[in-house]
């Protein structure tokens, strides 16, 4: 009998395969980095040898290694290496100027203590405070930042990574002026005389800074430090052993590859080829040349093309009339698709012909419809579904849920967003009206339609990347005490239609699948990881409790006691009292 390197005993295995079958047992036996057996304690102990490590799980849950199948780990550099603004908030009774002043106060302190930085970076501001979530809405501008520092560029990225607020120096160094044409997708906000205000919206506009401002990107050593810090502080302590970095720079990719070569990654990472403009089909030729060259070993690979189809929510029905009037938007404004249906289809079909998976950002129901239309066309023309994925899916028509299921299009959802909070009550309701806002994120409806749903945190949009926060939000659709300010106002309320508020609450089993087997399937790894089965790589997580016996409102308190990756214990900590 093969002797075990590690035995987890007196636990409760909680694991599913993609086909829905459950794995049960009280013990897991590990040898040579693989799961040797899933069984009862008595049988497991027969595998014990002189050098076997045996860990008593105390009757608590043993999960497969968890996944974050849509996140931006390398973007943690903007947190670890810059001024962090995520915790600064505003409320509906406060003015936009009050929020601006809070941001500027924080940034002023940061600048004073970082005189050596050639580019001053900040991240985490929320544009919703300037477009409906606060009273007297007004946008900040470059002059606000010039008062703090005029001789060095300041670049402030929004929490959603879809907007920038920069000073005049940053605009000058990037060559952005009143003569710079607006990009086809995205926007350069301008004052009455046509000069840029310092606010840039969406990918092509942001790229004017990212690609032209000297010294904008972080260095490879900085990214390596960020990735390892993220791994050790934000992934392994939460039991996460599989990450999908859905937007990274070339320097970040180099950092991942070097870390994989050096054997320093204790998680599996999958990256993306960014396809930044569907009108520039020549980008796909460059991606084709790179395809297959980024695989170092099984800890890092790229098999996916990332595409954005919209900026602000692209909706089938217009935004609310009051929101349109207040913001001076065109009559019957319905958001912005970046591309015509023909442009999007042509690009997505050509991308599919490369044989790579396609991962599409789509939130509004018009963008989701366009994504589904294009993916079905691409799949029909290429003859393969290739596990194509749509991420976010805030608003979705019933018929598109059915079409996604029928055409095997994967849904990547962010449960942490699926709550009734200030974003819903103030921003979403302002834009879409209460009925549409409360019906957002049709999680359970997607599952009931037959869609495969995988989870992602979209970190750093919603820190921390805690999977147990995701589970609680998926089950309750409500805020919890961890969000102290939100909890004071919104406790006990759910995100859901008025006549059926818990319509989109899911079961614990469905949430676990989203974090494990379904996410592994999305990333072509279901035969290697994502479930606790004989022969699979030993990615295991021991909790401080029996998760199935934990009240839904208490799940957020869950702590990880032990994380195992490829049979090695990579995180171990006694839970706090």
Strand partners, 56: 9
Is the pLDDT at 22 greater than 90? The verdict is: yes
Rg of the Cα atoms in the chain: 24
* Residue of 97, 271, 81 whose CA lies nearest to 157: 81
Residue 380 CB: number of other CB atoms within 10 A?
Answer: 13
Helix/strand/coil for 39: strand
User: By mean pLDDT, which of 293-297, 299-303, 476-480, 503-507 is the weakest?
Assistant: 293-297
Can you tell me whether residue 430 is helix, strand or coil? helix
The reply to whether omega before 464 is within 30° of 0 (cis) is yes
For residue 482, which phi and psi values (nearest 5 degrees)? -55, -35
pLDDT digits (tens, 9 = 90+) for 110-148: 999 999 999 999 999 988 888 766 767 788 999 999 999
> Is the confidence at residue 463, as pLDDT, over 50?
yes
Other beta carbons within 10 angstroms of residue 410's beta carbon come to: 23
Tokens 């590990």, residue?
A: 30
| Alpha carbon separation from 275 to 118, 307, 371, 385 (Å, rounded) | 29, 6, 15, 19
Q: Stretch 218-223: mean pLDDT, rounded? A: 95
Q: How far apart are CA 434 and CA 427, in angstroms?
A: 10
Q: Is the separation of the CB atoms in 345 and 374 below 8 Å?
A: yes
* Distance from C-alpha of 496 to C-alpha of 477, rounded to nearest angstrom: 8
Is 0.85 topped by the overall pTM? yes
Residue listed under structure tokens 């590690």: 6
User: Residue 319: its pLDDT value, please?
Assistant: 96
- Report yes or no: 155 and 170 within 8 Å, Cβ to Cβ: yes
Tallying the residues shown for the chain, one arrives at 577
Residue 319 CA to residue 331 CA, distance in Å, equals: 9
- Higher pLDDT: 201 or 35? It is 35
Question: Mean of the pLDDT values across residues 67-76?
Answer: 97
- For the residues 268-296, what does the mean pLDDT come to? 91
Mean pLDDT (the chain, rounded): 94
For the chain, which domains are there? Answer: 6-64+531-572 (2.30.40.10), 82-210 (3.10.310.70), 220-522 (3.20.20.140)
Span of 171-180, 202-211, 259-268 with lowest mean pLDDT = 202-211
Q: Which pLDDT score is estimated for 87?
A: 86
For tokens 């409360």, name the residue: 438
Question: Rounded to whole angstroms, how far apart are CA atoms 413 and 242?
Answer: 16
CA distance 574 to 577: 9
269 or 203: which leads in pLDDT: 269
**262: Cβ–Cβ under 8 A, 6 or more apart, which residues?**
none
The average pLDDT across 517-524 equals 99
Residue 522 or 88, more confident:
522
- The stretch 175-183 carries a mean pLDDT of 93
**For the residues 392-410, what does the mean pLDDT come to?**
98
**Band of pLDDT at residue 574, cut at 50, 70 and 90:** low
HSE, side-chain direction, 13 A CA sphere, residue 217: 18
Cα distances (angstroms) measured from residue 361 to each of 162, 203, 299: 12, 12, 25
pLDDT winner (highest mean) among 51-65, 136-150, 313-327, 477-491: 51-65
pLDDT for res 336: 87
Q: What pLDDT sits at residue 485?
A: 82
CB contact at 8 A, 366 and 394? no
In this predicted structure, which of 47-51, 96-100, 223-227 has the lowest mean pLDDT? 96-100
C-beta of residue 158 within 8 angstroms of C-beta of residue 125 = yes
Q: What is the pLDDT of residue 269?
A: 99
Listed as own residue / partner, the contacts of 38-44 with beta carbons closer than 8 Å and 24 or more positions apart are 38/13, 38/532, 38/533, 38/534, 41/9, 41/10, 44/4, 44/7, 44/9
What lies within 8 Å, CB to CB, of 459 at 6+ separation is 68, 71, 72, 73, 75, 76, 234, 465
Instruction: For residue 527, give both structure tokens.
Output: 């035969």
The pLDDT of residue 398 is 98
For residue 93, pLDDT over 70 is answered with no
Query: With b meaning 16 or more CB within 10 Å and e meaning fewer, what string describes 312-347?
Result: bbbbeebbbeebbeeeeeeeebbbbbbbeeebbbbb
Q: Cα–Cα distance between 226 and 359 in angstroms, integer? A: 24
Query: What is the model's pLDDT at position 575?
Result: 47
Query: Looking at per-residue confidence, does 185 or 428 come out higher?
Result: 428
pLDDT score for 266 = 99
* Residue 477, token pair as written in the block: 């659709």
**pLDDT of 577:** 44
What is the per-residue pLDDT for 95? Answer: 81
Q: Which residue has the tokens 């929020």?
A: 99
pLDDT at 219: 94
């Amino acid at each position: 009998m093969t002797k075990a390197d590690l035995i987890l005993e007196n636990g409760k295995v909680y694991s599913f395969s993609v086909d829905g079958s459950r794995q049960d047992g009280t013990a897991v036996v590990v040898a040579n980095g693989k799961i040797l057996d899933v069984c009862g304690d008595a049988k497991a102990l027969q595998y014990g040898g002189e050098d076997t490590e045996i860990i008593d799980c105390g009757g608590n849950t043993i999960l497969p290694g968890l996944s974050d199948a849509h996140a931006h780990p390398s973007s943690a550099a903007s947190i670890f290496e810059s001024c962090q603004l995520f915790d600064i908030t505003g409320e509906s009774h406060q003015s936009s100027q009050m929020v601006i002043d809070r941001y500027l106060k924080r940034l002023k302190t940061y600048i004073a203590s970082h005189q050596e930085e050639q580019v001053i970076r900040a991240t985490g501001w929320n544009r919703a405070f300037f477009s409906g979530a606060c009273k007297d809405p007004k946008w900040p501008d470059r002059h606000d930042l010039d008062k703090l520092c005029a001789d060095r560029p300041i670049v402030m990225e929004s929490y959603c990574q879809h907007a920038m607020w920069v000073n005049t120096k940053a605009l000058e160094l990037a060559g952005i002026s009143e003569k710079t044409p607006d990009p086809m997708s995205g926007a350069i906000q301008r004052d009455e005389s046509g000069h840029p205000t310092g606010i840039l919206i969406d990918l092509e506009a942001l790229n004017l800074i990212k690609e032209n401002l000297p010294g904008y990107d972080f260095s490879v050593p900085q990214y390596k430090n960020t990735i390892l810090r993220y791994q050790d502080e934000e992934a392994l302590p939460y039991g996460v052993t599989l990450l999908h970095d859905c937007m990274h720079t070339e320097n970040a990719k180099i950092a991942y590859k070097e870390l994989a070569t050096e054997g320093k990654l204790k998680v599996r990472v999958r990256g993306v080829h960014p396809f930044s403009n569907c009108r520039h089909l020549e980008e796909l030729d460059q991606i084709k040349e790179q395809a297959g060259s980024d695989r170092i070993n099984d800890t890092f690979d790229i098999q996916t093309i990332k595409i954005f189809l919209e900026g602000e929510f692209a909706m089938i029905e217009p935004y609310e009339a009051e929101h349109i009037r207040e913001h001076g938007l065109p009559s019957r404004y319905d958001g912005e698709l970046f591309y015509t249906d023909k442009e999007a289809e042509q690009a997505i079909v050509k991308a599919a012909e490369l044989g790579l998976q396609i991962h599409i950002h789509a939130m509004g129901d018009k963008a989701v419809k366009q994504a589904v239309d294009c993916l079905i066309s691409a799949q029909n023309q290429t003859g393969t579904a290739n596990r194509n994925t749509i991420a976010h899916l805030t608003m979705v028509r019933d018929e598109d849920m059915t079409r996604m299921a029928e055409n095997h299009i994967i849904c990547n959802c962010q449960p942490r967003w699926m709550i009734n909070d200030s974003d819903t009550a103030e921003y979403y309701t302002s834009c879409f009206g209460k009925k549409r806002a409360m019906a957002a994120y049709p999680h359970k409806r997607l599952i009931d339609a037959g869609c495969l749903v995988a989870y992602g945190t979209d970190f750093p949009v919603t820190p921390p990347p805690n999977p147990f926060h995701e589970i609680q939000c998926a089950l309750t659709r409500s805020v919890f005490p961890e969000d102290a300010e939100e909890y004071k106002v919104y406790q006990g309320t759910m995100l859901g239609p008025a006549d059926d508020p818990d319509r989109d609450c899911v079961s614990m089993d469905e949430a676990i699948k989203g974090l494990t087997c379904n996410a592994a399937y999305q990333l072509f790894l279901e035969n290697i990881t994502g479930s606790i089965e004989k022969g699979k790589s030993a990615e295991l997580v021991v909790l401080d409790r029996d998760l199935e016996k934990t009240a839904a409102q208490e799940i957020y308190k869950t702590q990880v006691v032990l994380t195992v990756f490829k049979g090695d214990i990579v995180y171990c900590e006694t839970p706090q009292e």
